[in-house]
Chain A
């Protein structure tokens, strides 16, 4: 059984997901000791800008660039937000694109700092994903997300997930693709306000359907460890000796932050602009 990690990186005009993927892959190799493949519509960007770092990846799987109409708000702390194109559409192709029998898929802004996820391969489950996540902002409760909407289903985080190829997971990804292709219908049925297609929501819907429209089921199982995250309202300031320093925005007083630090903990850093700055500082 082959094992590995795949990352998706589709650049837009301002966010260099490919560079994020390089940083992310280096951390994966350091702690999980797994091959990492990159799925990207920006393969040329990789060869032109990071020729010496192509070897970071086990395989580079080039996909066709598509015209993207949906735009997402990218914040950088409490500063001015930007609306940029957001191509997150090929996550549902993970089953067909992965070169591995057992795969961990992760966002490029998920930074691995320990080997917790290695345990995925020791468990006998075919699909693992987090439903509960821990927001590192000590006073950020008002921004926490638990459901895809107030009245709807619980949200699974598609930030990181593990799957083993089999009939059930194949069906799951086919369903996911169907939901993506019929997003307007499913977001209406599941009472989701956002027009944008979001993988977290599509995964949550697909899981709900696969479970016969019921919650509290035993599939999928939880990934080892805990999903820690910071929002794009928060800032990432420093990364030294596996220790992150974050400035976490105060929801009650705009422009004020409190400090949070983590050591040896994997973190999903949603402020991509701040993450870019950090990675630049790491010499990539």
Chain B
């Protein structure tokens, strides 16, 4: 078994090309972490260019009506070829070397990011997108970035998560009565799982440096109510650094809106990677 690696789910839909996003993410990981091992789980046979950057491609056909990859993502623990796995959403970019992250994660068997930053590097205290969590007192977990080590503790957690997801309507009714989501999400399901196992303190830390730049508009502290963050700021890559609205980024960026990921940005990442290898 390979000691550590990154796992990305990229199941294309008629609307979104998640595989392209996963490709950009993989390019950004390799740019700063040349020894990284990356596995992509996808429902689409990747083109040759994409395969070069992924070390392992698992093609799995999804149900035609599958929503938000949730049905597939519950298999992450079982499918991962790594002893220690970082799982990231496809619409994420890595902006730095993650050695210190791996080192920090050694303290955990399971880890979820639980705080987010603005692109201006301020911890966001907005609960605009987290009403279900706040009103139902759920752990504020983000599946955008999670980690597990193959262990009994993690196996138990992910078995329970599977039960929650497979019976999500029942669990959501019971554990999110005040503000119930009408769809099954990984974030709410993971939070319910953690609440059931009373393990929030063992799987996250709000004060950790491991957090995510989350580009949803209401999270940025803007006075104007932008419907889309991509109409207010741009995402650029220059001289091996990512910039959003002229702010140099660090850590990982969850850009959410596909508009941020331009073909030009991908070309720049490809060129930067070519100089690394």
**B36 partner residues in chain A, CB cutoff 8 A:** none
Q: Which residue in B220, B224, B243 is a CB contact (below 8 Å) of A213?
A: B243
**B241 partner residues in chain A, CB cutoff 8 A:** 213
Binds B, one of A102-110, A150-158, A275-283: A150-158
Alpha-carbon distance A213/B238, docked complex (angstroms): 12
Is chain A's interface secondary structure helix, strand, loop, or mixed overall? Answer: loop
A190 within 8 A of B: yes
Q: Which residue in B120, B222, B223, B246 is a CB contact (below 8 Å) of A190?
A: B246
Minimum CB–CB distance from B233 to chain A (whole Å) comes to 6
Chain B 236-277: CB-based contact to A (< 8 A → 1; otherwise 0) = 000001010111100000000000000000000000000000
Alpha-carbon distance A152/B234, docked complex (angstroms): 11
Contact call B222/A150, Cβ cutoff below 8 A:
yes
**A151 partner residues in chain B, CB cutoff 8 A:** 220, 222, 232-233, 245
B121 within 8 A of A: yes
| B 209-227 contacts with A by CB, 8 A | 220, 222-224
Contact call A213/B222, Cβ cutoff below 8 A:
no
Q: Which residue in B121, B222, B245 is a CB contact (below 8 Å) of A216?
A: B121
Contact call B223/A212, Cβ cutoff below 8 A:
no
Contact call B247/A153, Cβ cutoff below 8 A:
yes
Minimum CB–CB distance from B238 to chain A (whole Å) comes to 10
Contact call B233/A214, Cβ cutoff below 8 A:
no
Contact call B246/A150, Cβ cutoff below 8 A:
no
Minimum CB–CB distance from B115 to chain A (whole Å) comes to 15
Interface size in chain A (residues, C-beta < 8 A): 14
Alpha-carbon distance A154/B247, docked complex (angstroms): 11
**B248 partner residues in chain A, CB cutoff 8 A:** 212-214
**B245 partner residues in chain A, CB cutoff 8 A:** 151-152, 191
Number of residue pairs spanning A and B whose beta carbons lie under 8 angstroms apart = 33
Residue with the highest number of chain A CB atoms closer than 10 Å, among B220, B241, B243, B247: B247
Minimum CB–CB distance from B126 to chain A (whole Å) comes to 15
Residue of A nearest to B226 (CB): A151
**B121 partner residues in chain A, CB cutoff 8 A:** 214-216
Contact call B246/A213, Cβ cutoff below 8 A:
yes
Contact call B222/A153, Cβ cutoff below 8 A:
no
Alpha-carbon distance A189/B243, docked complex (angstroms): 12
Interface size in chain B (residues, C-beta < 8 A): 14
Residue of A nearest to B247 (CB): A213
Alpha-carbon distance A176/B224, docked complex (angstroms): 29
Contact call B246/A215, Cβ cutoff below 8 A:
no
**B224 partner residues in chain A, CB cutoff 8 A:** 150
Residue with the highest number of chain A CB atoms closer than 10 Å, among B120, B222, B232, B243: B120
- Given A214-B121, A215-B121, A216-B121: A153 and B223 within 8 A (CB)? no
Residue with the highest number of chain A CB atoms closer than 10 Å, among B121, B241, B243, B246: B246
| A 135-178 contacts with B by CB, 8 A | 150-154
A59 within 8 A of B: no
Contact call A215/B247, Cβ cutoff below 8 A:
yes
Alpha-carbon distance A152/B121, docked complex (angstroms): 12
Contact call A214/B222, Cβ cutoff below 8 A:
no
| A 98-140 contacts with B by CB, 8 A | none
Chain B 118-151: CB-based contact to A (< 8 A → 1; otherwise 0) = 0011000000000000000000000000000000
A208 within 8 A of B: yes
- Given A215-B120, A215-B121, A216-B121: A152 and B246 within 8 A (CB)? yes
Contact call B246/A189, Cβ cutoff below 8 A:
yes
Alpha-carbon distance A152/B244, docked complex (angstroms): 10
Minimum CB–CB distance from A7 to chain B (whole Å) comes to 32
Residues of A participating in the B interface, judged by any CB pair closer than 8 Å: 150-154, 189-191, 208, 212-216
17 further interface pairs, Cβ-Cβ under 8 Å (given A150-B232, A152-B245, A191-B245)? A150-B223, A150-B224, A151-B222, A151-B233, A151-B245, A153-B247, A191-B233, A212-B248, A213-B241, A213-B243, A213-B246, A213-B248, A214-B121, A214-B247, A214-B248, A215-B120, A215-B247
Of the A-B pairs whose beta carbons lie under 8 Å apart in the complex, a sample of 14, sorted by A's number, is A150-B222, A150-B223, A150-B224, A150-B232, A153-B120, A153-B246, A154-B120, A208-B246, A213-B241, A213-B243, A213-B248, A215-B120, A215-B121, A216-B121
